[in-house]
């Protein structure tokens, strides 16, 4: 099993490579939910996630067994960490990732000198392929979570929590395979038995809370924790050391990612934001006394999803106004319509003429347009002004 002594030894191994990451106070969450809430910005860690802690400890433990190189199967963060650690120790590295793994994580592995093999529909298939490569070529296999050296390495984060937060009362952190949660829980509760440790999973793949374990690919913003079954090592450790487990839905994860960008100025991936999602949505409560710490486990966000997150947030906040109306199909009609919106302070985002599938007069065209507005109240004023200007059939939609 894994002990506090193992975790302390792992810290010495990773010293100089794994960062002692900072804490950020969250006035927004503290005001909304009460209590003293801080964020552990592991998103600023080397390779962008906590995984470097376990990877360094694992490769150091291998010694000459890594002479022919190492392999790993991962959705991205463990892969990057193993690739970086392999480069640090000067050994070859083959990484296997599921098809569709975030491009940013795949390219980072290659930048660290690893050979990356993409394929398979799930993390399980990537792990199986990595095991097979290790057996065929005499390489050492590095499991993403079900390994004592990995768990001990991840637990070094818990040592920092205890040292930096003497009044620590509650830790909220992600649970995928369970390596981070198990290691941190052992480190924290071995020293502060009263402190509560709460694990958070993504609702679409939440085996630790009795949730679904989909047969095919898992589509979630929290791809980094989309692990379909508890580990043989980590499962019992979670049962023993973690006090509570909850699952959050995709909307809560999306809201948490945007809140962290907007209010904390931190770029955090979906898997890293689930703790904030659980707290802000009311699934878990902060400690009444002492400090509650939310671990932001990673910052490797796929850039392709960011525009969608922002659009969703702006719409939900009432800062996007979508309208549909009819105008005369004559020169200058569109300019006059848009001029009314401009006069009311709405900024055009996009506009489209629609002539097909709409009941129109032969000399009419329909207009579908999106505008930026300041608030729901501003949107109401804009719509009223444009209707009063002669566009009485204007239909509008905006975030509630």
Query: What are the catalytic residues?
Result: 51, 297
Give the chain's radius of gyration (CA, Å).
25
Looking at beta carbons, which pairs linking 120-125 to residues 24 or more positions away fall under 8 Å? 120/96, 121/216, 121/217, 122/98, 122/216, 122/217, 122/218, 122/228, 123/73, 123/74, 123/75, 123/98, 123/226, 123/227, 123/228, 124/228, 125/73, 125/98
Q: How many CA atoms lie within 13 A of 364 on its CB side?
A: 10
**How far is it, in rounded angstroms, from Cα 211 to Cα 240?**
19
Instruction: Say whether 273 sits in a helix, a strand or coil.
Output: helix
Rounded to the nearest 5 degrees, what angle is found at the Cα of 295, between the Cα atoms of 86 and 60? 20
Strand positions, DSSP E, the chain? 23-25, 36-41, 70-73, 93-97, 115-118, 140-141, 168-174, 196-202, 244-248, 291-296, 320-328, 347-354, 364-372, 395-398
**How far is it, in rounded angstroms, from Cα 80 to Cα 111?**
9
**How far is it, in rounded angstroms, from Cα 205 to Cα 24?**
29
What is the CB neighbour count within 10 angstroms for residue 19? 15
DSSP string, 84-101: HHHHHHT--EEEEE-TT-
Instruction: Record the tokens describing residue 148, joined without a space.
Output: 């004592």
Tokens 């949730």 -> residue: 211
DSSP string, 144-196: SSSSHHHHHHHTHHHHHHHHH-TTEEEEEEE-SSSHHHHHHHHHHHHH-TT-E
CB 184 within 8 A of CB 158: yes
**What is the distance in angstroms between the CA of the first residue and the CA of the last residue of the chain?**
51
């Amino acid at each position: 099993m894994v002990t506090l002594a193992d975790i302390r030894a792992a810290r010495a191994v990773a010293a100089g490579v794994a960062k002692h990451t900072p804490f950020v106070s969250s006035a927004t969450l503290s005001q909304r939910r009460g209590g003293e809430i801080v964020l552990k910005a592991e998103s600023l860690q080397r390779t962008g996630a906590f995984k470097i802690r376990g990877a360094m400890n694992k490769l150091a433990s291998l010694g000459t067994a890594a002479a022919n190189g190492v392999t790993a199967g991962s959705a991205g963060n463990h892969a990057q960490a193993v690739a970086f650690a392999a480069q640090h120790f000067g050994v070859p590295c083959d990484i296997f990732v599921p098809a569709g793994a975030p491009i940013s994580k795949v390219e980072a592995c290659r930048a660290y000198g690893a050979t990356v093999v993409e394929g398979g529909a799930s993390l399980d298939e990537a792990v199986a392929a990595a095991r097979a490569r290790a057996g065929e070529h005499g390489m050492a296999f590095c499991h993403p979570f079900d390994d004592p050296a990995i768990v001990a390495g991840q637990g070094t984060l818990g040592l920092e929590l205890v040292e930096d937060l003497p009044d620590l009362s509650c830790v909220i952190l992600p649970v995928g395979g369970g390596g981070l949660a198990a290691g941190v829980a052992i480190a924290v509760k071995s020293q502060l038995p009263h402190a509560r440790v709460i694990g958070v999973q993504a609702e679409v793949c939440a085996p630790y809370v009795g949730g679904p374990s989909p047969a095919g690919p898992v589509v979630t913003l929290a791809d980094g924790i989309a692990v379909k079954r508890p580990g043989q090592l980590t499962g019992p450790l979670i049962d023993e050391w973690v006090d509570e487990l909850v699952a959050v839905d995709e909307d809560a994860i999306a809201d948490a990612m945007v809140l962290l960008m907007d209010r904390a100025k931190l770029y955090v991936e979906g898997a890293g934001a689930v703790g904030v999602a659980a707290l802000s949505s009311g699934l878990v409560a902060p400690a009444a006394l002492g400090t509650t710490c939310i671990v932001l486990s990673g910052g490797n966000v796929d850039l392709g999803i960011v525009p969608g997150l922002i659009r969703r947030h702006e719409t939900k906040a009432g800062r996007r106004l979508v309208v549909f109306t009819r105008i005369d199909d004559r020169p200058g009609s569109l300019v006059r319509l848009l001029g009314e919106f401009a006069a009311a302070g709405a900024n055009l985002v996009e506009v489209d003429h629609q002539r097909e599938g709409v009941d129109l007069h032969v000399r009419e065209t329909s207009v579908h347009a999106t505008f930026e507005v300041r608030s729901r109240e501003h949107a109401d004023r804009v719509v009223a002004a444009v209707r009063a200007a002669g566009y009485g059939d204007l239909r509008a939609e905006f975030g509630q």
